[in-house]
Structure formats: C-alpha cells, structure tokens
Amino acid sequence: MVEALIEHNINLQHKLADLIISVRELNGNVKNMVDLFTEAGEHIKKGKYEDPLFVKLDDLLEQNKNLAKGLLLLEKFIREKQAAPTAFPQRMPRPEY
C-alpha cells in the first residue's frame, strides 16, 4: 500500500511538472498576444492604417468629399441662375394688323 502511494505521488509530481510547463507556454503566448494588441492600439491612436483596405476606404472617402463639394457648387450655380433676372427683356408680342 505504501508503495502504491509513493507511485501515485510520483505520477502526481510528473503531472504537476507538465502543468507548470504548459502554464509557462500559455503565459508566453498571452504575452505575445498582449504585445500585438498594444502595438495595434498604438497604430490606431496615431492613425497609421497600413491595411490596403483602409487606404482604399480613405481614398473613397476623399473622392466622396470632392463629389459632395462639386454637387454643392452646382446646386448653388443653378439656384443663382434661377433667381437672377434674365439679361434680355422678354419680347412684347407684335401687334397684328
């Protein structure tokens, strides 16, 4: 019976050693992940978007701004044209003889 307890105690120590090794590996992986998220957060704070999708979205946003400005100018031009009196007076109808 004592020998069985000693054998179980040795097996338990091996399992504990395996558990400690696994926890160390897990800690290393979690540290790497935290470092990655920290770096990503710093890039977001600085506005450094290096992803091609972000670059394309920024380009589209800039194009939309330019189109909106152009449409506003066109609307202003049309409103001014409609509000301005015509340069030539309207013709009076000719009298019929």
pLDDT at 39: 87
Exposure b/e, 31-66, CB count within 10 A at least 16 = b = eeeeeeeeeeeeeeeeeeeeeeeeeeeeeeeeeeee
Residue 41 pLDDT: 82
Interatomic CA distance for residues 4 and 33, integer angstroms:
43
The DSSP line for 74-97 is: HHHHHHHHHHSPPSSPPPPPPPP-
**Ranges of each domain in the chain:** 1-48, 49-83
Per-residue pLDDT for 88 more than 80?
Answer: no
Average pLDDT value for the chain: 83
Residues 27-68 pLDDT 10s: 999 999 998 888 888 877 777 666 777 778 888 999 999 999
Q: Which residue do the tokens 């972000």 mark? A: 54
